Every structure is written in C-alpha cells, then in structure tokens.
Structure 1
Amino acid sequence: MPFPIKHILFFVGAILFSFLINHILLRFVKTLGIRNESETHIRWSSQVKPALGGLTFYIVFLLSITLHPFIFSYSGKAIDFQFTGIIGVTSLGFLMGLADDAYNTKPMLKLFTQILCGVLLVYSGTYIQVFESDIVNYSLTILWVVGLMNSINMLDNMDGITTIVSLIIAFTIFIIMLNNNEFDTISMTVVIGLLGSLFGFLYFNWNPSKMYMGDTGSQYLGVLLAALSINYLWNPITTAEFSISRQFLIPILSFIIPIIDTTTVVIKRARKGNSPFVGGKDHTTHHLSYLGFTEKQVAVIITLISIVSSVIVIYVVSTIKVWSHFYTIVFVAYFLILFFTLFYIANKNIDKSE
C-alpha cells in the first residue's frame, strides 16, 4: 500500500478515535477541570463543563508514536535523542495541565514547569538557531516555549477558538513538512495524529460546546506546537537566503492570534494593576463579541485571520527564495495593522469587560 494512503487512513482513524474517546469520556466523566464557584477562575461561559479534550490529545499522541514503527517507518530509523526530548516535555506539559485541572495548582509551579520544558528541549537539541550566540538562542527558546504555553492557555477563552487556531498552525507545519519531502518521519506521524485529534475534538468544542480542553489540553498543545515550530518554523529546511527578519516573521505570523491576544491582555491588565495570570473577560475574542458578533461569528473571524496568516507563511517558505527589505516591510505592516485593529477594539470596549 503506498504511503500516502497509509497517512490518510491514519488521519481518518485519528479523527474517529478522537471522536469516540471524547464521546465516551463525556458520558462517564463530569467533573474534571470544573472549578468551584468560589474560586477566582473566570470563564466566558457561565456553564460548567468538563475539561476532557487534553486527555484525548495525549492518548492520540502516544498512539502516533506507538504505531509509527508499524505503519510509517520505511527507513527503519529509531527515535533519536532529540525527539525523545519532545516526548518528555510534551508529557510533562500534559501532566502539569492535568494537575492544574484537578487541583488548581499555583501559578509559580506552572511557570517553573514551563521553564523546565524549555530547558529540556534545549538540552535534547531542539532550540532556536537564529543568532551566533548559543546563550541567546537558548534564552530565546525558553522564552518562546513559556510564552506559547501561556498564550495557548490564555486563548482558550471561548468555544472552539484554541482548537481552530491550533488546527491551522498544525496544518501550516504539515504543509511545510510536505514541502520538505518528509513522509516517513515520526514528526509527520505525530502531526497527522494531532490534526486528527483536533478535528475529532472540534465537534464537542464548537459553540455551543459540550466540553473544554482545559489546561490539560492547552499546556499539551502549547509545548508540542512550540517544539514543532522550532524545528519547522524557526529553523526551516530551506534553500532561501537567510535573514533574521524572515526567521522571526515566519513563527510570529503562524502564531499571530495567540501572540496578539496575549500581548493585548497583558497590556490591559498591567494598566489596571491586575495580574495577567488571573482569568477575565477581556480577551480580543470577547471584545469582538461586545461589538455584536455571535460566538460562532467570532470563531469564523479568527479562523479567517489564521488562514490568511497561514497562507502567507506557506508562501514565504515555499516560494520566496531571495529575501528583501520589501518583504519585511509588507509582512510587518500586516502584523501591525492586525495587532492595532484588535488592540483598538479591545480598548474601545474596555468598560464592557469589567
């Protein structure tokens, strides 16, 4: 059987498995990730729902690794030390999220775990390679990992948003892997499994949602997408002319929604003297809702922005071989226009988020 057919069958199987396991968990588990009403955790929805999505994500992740040698390993390569590090930090992020959903852990413990994930990735050989100084590269890697784990977590504030954004980011990485002719690597198998698990979960997470992904899901997605983005967005396999601005723009545009949302929220809460780690109804998605858009319409808007940004990234990686200042100006302008538009909307409606 040709390998493209095997990949397609695995993708379909991952979707069906994700749908099935979420359906089963929804029937038997009703409390995981549900906060007590007396706690300070603030959600957009007033309804309490179980946070089960992360469990499915991690199960499919483990299945992807387990099944890879049986189905997709044409070269016979074993899992190397670098990918072992990715497995380790992904598991660590998942466990941290699971503990947070179950026990509502302290922010400093979560931050320590996120930093540890970044350090372990660097130690195992997955780190950003942009500058000549390794210390700067290592520091940037840890900052990127911690930032993404928090931004993906913070973005999980409205039905379907984080699932859709993560889907599009994962699909962007998938296309880049195809462009690199990576068909039989374990990373490809993991990405296909990730896409399948997200598609299967989206049915339960689309408005009106039946369940959330919780910190279990957002921490898992944050660290896995951070690791994959380092290998395929920060350090892409390309014959294009190297440029620092190009290397920064590819991951920034890929994660444009989480970056804009987190930056906006942190600035707004800092102005008020509030902690950025305490939940609230002041995210960019919430303010789009305050303008009169329904939750489904907000999800569509975020989807369109993410798709446009994904198309730009794929175009840059696959087509532009000689980088120039013109491209830097155009793509920076695109980011800034989008950022200030959403930032303006968030500040215009600031009184409605109290």
Structure 2
Amino acid sequence: MDYIIYFIISLLFSLILVPKVRAFALAKGVVDKPNKRKIHQGNIARLGGVAVFLAFWLVIISVSIFNRELLNFSGNKFLAVDYNLWAIFIGSTIMLLLGIIDDIRGVRSTTKLLWHFIAGFIVVGLGIKIWWVHSPFGGFLTIDNWSYLLVPLWVVLMINVMNWWDGVDGQASGIGVIASIVIFILSISKFVDQPSSAIIMIILAGSLLGFLCYNFNPASIFLGDSGSQFIGFMLAIGAIVSGAKIATASLVLGFPILDAMWLISALFGTIALLTLGRAELKLLSLIWLFFVMIVAGIILSLKAKQYGRK
C-alpha cells in the first residue's frame, strides 16, 4: 500500500511541476525550435527533466524525513543519510546541471562524456558496486573489484542510450516508466527483496508518468538533456542497487541498447555489419517494450492479489 502512495504523490508533484517548468522555459527562451529535421510546429519548452528531478527528490526527501531507515541501502551513513543515497543524489544532480547547461547553450560531446564518467566513478566510490554475478557453471562469482571499471562504463552506456532515444514524443519517458516499474517489481520479489530500491523505482515511475502526460504527441514540453541523462543515470543505478544487476536493464532495454550500438557502428563506418536499419530497430524496440509492459502488468496484478490475501 505504501508503494502506491509514493507513486501517487510523485505523480501529483510531477503533474504540478511540469507546467511551471514549461512556463519558466518559455519565458527564458529555453526552447526547441522547429527546423527541417524536426516535425514539431512552433517552439517547444525544454528542461522537462528539471520537473522530473524535483518531483522525484521532493518525495525521496519526504520519505527520508518520516523514516530514514526506509532508504537504507548499505548501512553506512553520512549526516544520517545512507552513502548510496548520497551517491544517487550527487550523480543525478551532476546529470541535471550538465543537461541544463547543454539545453541552454550546448556542451561539447567530449565534455559531456567526461562528466558521465565522473558521475560513474563517484557512484562506485560511494559504494554502489556490482558485488557478484551468477556463474554459468553454478554458484556466484565475486567481481566487486571490477566494479571500479564496470559501474562507470554501465552508467555511461545507459545515460547515452536514453539520450539517443529522446527523439520521439513520449519515447524516452515512456521507456523510463516501463523500465522503472519492471525493476520495482523485481525489487519487491522474494528473490531480491530490496524495499529501498523498490521505493526509489516506484517514485521514479510516478515522476516520469506525470511528465509523460505532457510529453505525448503533440508534446508541450521536451525532456531535454537534463531529463534524458537523469533517466539513464537512475535506471543504471536502479539496476545495480535492486540486486537484479545489469541483466535486468539489458532485458528491458535490449533493443534501445542495440540501437545505440547501431549509432556507434555508424560513427566508425561499420554499419554494413548490421542487417537491420535504425528505423527497423526502433520499431522492434517499441514492440518489445509493449510486450514487456504487458508482462509487467500481469506480474503487478498477481502481486496485488497476493498482497490482498495477506
């Protein structure tokens, strides 16, 4: 029941904040202007990620004030706040500020990539690691020392996957809603049982769904880099702290990640190695995400019935 409350509150905060951020962006001229490569008509406000960020952290802070133990990931604390939560806050704030600057005046791609890695290294430095993976021969393999390489690479990949996918109304935010709900479901399962990560993911889902109401075609506001980078960062971290590991997000975002590989191959002139064009990959990814959404809905329904019997 608490999860539903967190979801509804974050949804309402987002619904309230998005119009205010939109009005601010329009007043300050932070807009996406139409051109030959874009299909939207008129100036569309950017900075939608600011509203999502604020809605998310307002609820997280409220939860922490009423019960700090609910967001206890590692047991190690600074100023009564868990190290992992500090990592998520610092990393997501870096992504937000970097995105705002990029939305307003532009940032070189190499500079953005550098800050993506910095956020990744901050996260792993504050204790968010991939501690183990399943061995194909049975049992587990301890790989925590490799986390100092794997976690930043994973964070950078997810940030850029979501950034590249923020090209169609409702696409990046819709993917974010679906992926966060799937990670939430895994977090509350008896196999994972991570209530702290479940709280974060359901609040993220509510914040994104509120924004999505304004981002459907025809969109009245865009995420901007501030939003796409925030979503990518949060999904990357959510997949790790949930205990579901990277395989979770890779399953949900399989085709978007493949699409990112398509872009990388194009940059290096090896596009002929891939048999599918980018348009086909996007179509397949949308079909796949629709399938994942249906499965997630079925699992949520079963979970609701399970809790109803208790």
Q: TM-score range by the shorter chain?
A: 0.7 to 0.9
> 1:253 aligned to 2:248?
no
Distance 1:59 1:263, change over 3 A: same
Q: Find the aligned partners of 1:166 and 1:76 in 2 and give their Cα distance.
A: 21
From the superposition, tell whether residues 81 and 270 of structure 1 become closer, same or farther in structure 2 (CA, over 3 Å): same
Distance 2:71 2:182 in 1: 27
Q: Which residue of 2 aligns with 1:326?
A: none
Q: What's the secondary structure of 2:221's corresponding residue?
A: coil
Give 1:165 shift.
0.8
In structure 2, do the counterparts of structure 1 residues 302 and 156 end up closer, same or farther at CA, with 3 Å as the change threshold? Answer: farther
Measured at CA, do residues 43 and 266 of structure 1 come closer, stay the same or move farther in structure 2, by a change above 3 Å?
farther
Classify 1:269/1:287 alpha carbon distance in 2 versus 1 (closer, same or farther; 3 Å): farther
1:208 is aligned to 218
Residues 243-302 of structure 1, C-alpha deviations (whole Å, 9 max, x = no match) = xxxx664332122132122112222343289xxxxxxxx8447964xxxxxxxxx99635
Q: 1:149 aligns with which of 145, 153, 159?
A: 159
For residues 211 and 3 of structure 2, the distance between their equivalents in structure 1, rounded to whole angstroms, comes to 20
Instruction: Describe the SS at the equivalent of 2:85.
Output: helix
User: Is 1:198 matched up with 2:208?
Assistant: yes
Residue 199 of structure 2 corresponds to which residue in structure 1? 189
The one-letter amino acid of 2:63's match is H
Match of 1:55 in 2: 50
- Deviation string for 1:33-76 (max 9, x for gaps)? 536969xxx65646541113201111012212220134454669
Q: 1:54 to 1:109 in 2, by over 3 A?
A: same
Per the alignment, residue 130 of structure 2 pairs with 128
Question: Which protein has the bigger strand share?
Answer: 2
Cα distance change on mapping 1:302 and 1:160 into 2, 3 Å: farther
TM-score by length of 2: 0.77
Tell me, in whole angstroms, the C-alpha distance in 1 between the residues paired with 2:19 and 2:270.
41
2:269 corresponds to which residue? 271
**Which ranges of structure 2 fall in alignment gaps of 5 or more residues?**
73-79, 134-140, 272-276, 301-310
User: Map of 1:1-354 to 2, 5 A cutoff?
Assistant: 4=1, 6-30=2-26, 31-34=29-32, 43=38, 45=40, 47-73=42-68, 78-129=80-131, 130=133, 132=142, 134-179=144-189, 180-183=192-195, 185=196, 187-232=197-242, 235-236=243-244, 249-271=247-269, 283-284=278-279, 288=283, 301=287, 303-307=289-293
Indicate conservation of the 8 Å contact 1:72/1:189, yes or no.
no
**Structure 2 residue matching 1:128: 3-state secondary structure:** coil
Quickly say closer, same or farther: Cα 1:149–1:309, change in 2 above 3 A.
farther
Distance 2:42 2:148 in 1: 42
Q: Secondary structure at the match of 1:271?
A: coil
| Identity in percent | 25
Q: Secondary structure at the match of 1:118?
A: helix
Provide, for residues 188-217 of structure 1, a one-character-per-residue CA deviation record: whole Å limited to 9, x for no partner: 433222111111111111112111101000
Distance 2:280 2:45 in 1: 22
Is the contact made by 1:254 and 1:309 (CA closer than 8 Å) also made in structure 2? no
Question: Gaps spanning 5+ residues in structure 1: where?
Answer: 237-246, 274-281, 289-297, 315-354
Return the alpha-carbon distance in structure 2 between the equivalents of residues 36 and 56 of structure 1. Answer: 23
Distance in structure 1 (CA, Å) of the matches to 2:145 and 2:168:
38
Comparing 262-271 with 305-314, which one deviates more in the overlay? 305-314
What TM-score, normalized by structure 1, do the two folds share?
0.68
Instruction: Look up the SS of the partner of 2:44 in the other structure.
Output: coil
Q: Distance in 2 between matches of 1:149 and 1:228?
A: 13
Q: What's the counterpart of residue 77 of structure 2?
A: none
Is the 1:26–1:52 contact (alpha carbons within 8 Å) kept by the matching residues of 2?
yes
Q: What residue in structure 2 maps to residue 336 of structure 1?
A: none
